[in-house]
Amino acid sequence: MKIVVGHLFPDYLNIYADRGNMAVLDRRAAWRGHELEVRPLGPGAEIRPGEHDLYYVGGGQDREQELIAPALAAMGDALREAVAGGAAALAVCGGYQLLGRFYRDQSGDELPGARLLPLHTVAGKQRMIGDVLLECELEPGKKRTLAGFENHAGRTHLDDGAEPLGRVLAGFGNDGASGHEGCRAGRVIGTYLHGPLLPRNPWLADWLLSQALAHRTGELPKLEPLPDELEAEAHAVSAARARSRGGRY
């Protein structure tokens, strides 16, 4: 089966090894006999809802985010329609911030967001930098951890009733205070975790692939398990780092 990924602004938003996430999706699809086709969506690209099974938005530095925020916000209506039709999305760091309502920088200027996630972000003085570990429960009763690295000045505030991606076990998370990290709205996931995220957290890569395949075929597939010893070892080291030296106030 072919899975079509819409990679939003890959030339601008790619700072924290986002291509590692793409490589993991690509290989793990291929090992199950599926083909991942990645279509770059840059400035001026048109989003036709239904065309893409999964969207990916990476992280960028402030300058890159400023350069593309208006173009990404302008795609908001089409992206929301695509997601309402069952497409999945993963947004990391700067991309996560830009999927909210707005990002307000330190001088008070606001960058518009694409409004896929019920949140907004306000820049703080102190950057939140360090290893981080979360506990997630994307499916009821199935608790799993995500290990990564965060580096952000923005404090992200979820709307009342919004679902965080996970509970912070070690590290700062969305704002260093709420104990929450990331945001999940149906098949859309936003997070500050890079490192990159997917190589050492392959269960999330498989969850995203499953959602993308469900969008394509209409039913949730059963992905066969893969030998993930190296992934588990990398996860364990990263998780231990977060526990021993994750950021805290």
Contact 82, 50 (CB under 8 A): yes
Candidate list 34, 93, 136, 235, residue with the active-site label: 93
* 91 contact partners, CB below 8 Å, separation of at least 6: 55, 56, 57, 98, 99, 116, 117, 188, 189, 190, 191
For residue 5, report the phi and psi dihedrals to the nearest 5 degrees.
-105, 130
Q: Which of 4, 156, 238, 239 binds another protein (CB under 8 A)?
A: 238
Residue 93 known to be catalytic: yes
- The Cα–Cα gap between 157 and 88 comes to 22
Q: Cβ of residue 230: shortest distance to another protein, in angstroms?
A: 5
Site for another protein in 182-221 (CB under 8 A): 194-196, 199-200
For residue 125, state whether it binds another protein (rule: CB under 8 A).
no
Contact 79, 54 (CB under 8 A): no
Q: Which of 33, 44, 46, 63 binds another protein (CB under 8 A)?
A: 63
* 22 contact partners, CB below 8 Å, separation of at least 6: 5, 7, 38, 56
Binding mask 137-156 for another protein (x = CB under 8 A): ------------x-x-----
Of 199, 209, 220, 182, nearest to 5 by C-alpha is 209
For residue 34, state whether it binds another protein (rule: CB under 8 A).
no
For residue 239, state whether it binds another protein (rule: CB under 8 A).
no
What residues act catalytically? 93, 194
Residues that bind another protein (CB under 8 A): 11, 14-17, 19-20, 23-24, 27, 61-64, 67, 127, 129-131, 149, 151, 194-196, 199-200, 227, 230-231, 233-234, 236-238, 241, 245
